[in-house]
Amino acid sequence: MPRRSANINVMVRAAEKAGRGLIRDFGEVDQLQVSRKGPGDFVSAADLKAEQTVKEELKKGRPEFGFLMEESGRTEGSDKSHTWIVDPLDGTTNFLHGLPHFCVSIALAKDKEVIAGVIFDPVKDEVFWAERGIGAFVNSRRLRVSGRRRLEDSIIATGAPFNLHDESIAERFIEQLRPIMQQTSGIRRYGSAALDLAYVAAGRYDGFWENGLNQWDVAAGLLLVREAGGFVTDLHGSRYELGADSILATNEGLHDKLSQILVRK
């Protein structure tokens, strides 16, 4: 394993500290399932607390950088070119329901390019990290996207749309599902886009697509996939840029086939 840079060390420390807090709170969530109101407010508080922890730790390490965070939005730093892009709890619905699949996601962007990413899954104790030009890793092991080239051998992950202000959004997703279901080995929908991307980088999934995600859901994961030798584009096949409205992450052999299937819909 190459030595982790100072930035990666700051990011891992922040993600681990927030992740430890999430694990403690996750233990409480189970007790609250039986209450009529459910654990909703408790989970919102856990999410905010995790964001605060990440922010404090990153600020300690790099006081001059700005922030873009899921809960508190954008904060300018004195250094205008570096921004932390943070999702303190990705997979919130899983967390809320006591499902052990969620993570802390932290990316560092220089201008509009992600140069470092860390995704920490505190339940499975996996630290996924990547640095531009250095590679992608889980803990100390190097990651590589899967080598599968045939759709019929492949497992493809996705996320169901949540912002259904328009009937066509649900319709489009259902139309995308049909050919993927028919032509691949199976679909997975685990509910954390950041971990979905980390799993593509690890070769556990052969591909992942989703419509309508936010930057903080995907910023760290997209660098993991690229540094693991994968392609990250929009559904049309153009290089994914932060803020794009769809994402497709997969290996070289499956990329064009998936893009063609998904974009037609």
The one of Ca ion, ligand 2AM, none whose footprint includes residue 162, by CB under 5 to 8 A per kind, is ligand 2AM
Q: Least distance in Å: CB of 162 to ligand 2AM?
A: 4
Work out whether 51 is an interface residue with ligand 2AM (CB under 6 A).
Answer: no
Cα–Cα distances (Å) from 154 to 70, 104, 116, 177, 231, in that order, read 32, 27, 28, 14, 16
8 A C-beta contact, residue 250 and residue 200: yes
Work out whether 87 is an interface residue with ligand 2AM (CB under 6 A).
Answer: yes
Cα–Cα distance measured from residue 196 to residue 173, given in angstroms and rounded to the nearest whole number: 17
Work out whether 234 is an interface residue with Ca ion (CB under 5 A).
Answer: no
Structure token pair of residue 178: 């049909």
Work out whether 162 is an interface residue with ligand 2AM (CB under 6 A).
Answer: yes
Nearer to ligand 2AM, 21 or 191 (CB): 191
Q: Least distance in Å: CB of 257 to Ca ion?
A: 28
Q: Least distance in Å: CB of 147 to ligand 2AM?
A: 26
Region of 87-95, 117-125, 135-143, 197-205 interacting with ligand 2AM (CB under 6 A): 87-95
Cα–Cα distance measured from residue 121 to residue 37, given in angstroms and rounded to the nearest whole number: 27
Among 21, 39, 91, 221, binds ligand 2AM (CB under 6 A): 91
The one of ligand 2AM, Ca ion, none whose footprint includes residue 192, by CB under 5 to 8 A per kind, is ligand 2AM
For residue 26, what are the contacts with CB-CB under 8 A and spacing of at least 6?
95, 98, 100, 102, 123
Cα–Cα distances (Å) from 22 to 27, 54, 218, in that order, read 9, 12, 20
Work out whether 16 is an interface residue with Ca ion (CB under 5 A).
Answer: no
Work out whether 43 is an interface residue with ligand 2AM (CB under 6 A).
Answer: no
- Quote the DSSP letter at residue 64: T
Nearer to ligand 2AM, 4 or 232 (CB): 232
∠ CA 199-201-206 to the nearest 5 degrees?
Answer: 70
8 A C-beta contact, residue 89 and residue 50: yes
* Interface with Ca ion (CB under 5 A): 87, 90, 217
* Interface with ligand 2AM (CB under 6 A): 87, 90-92, 159, 162, 191-193, 217
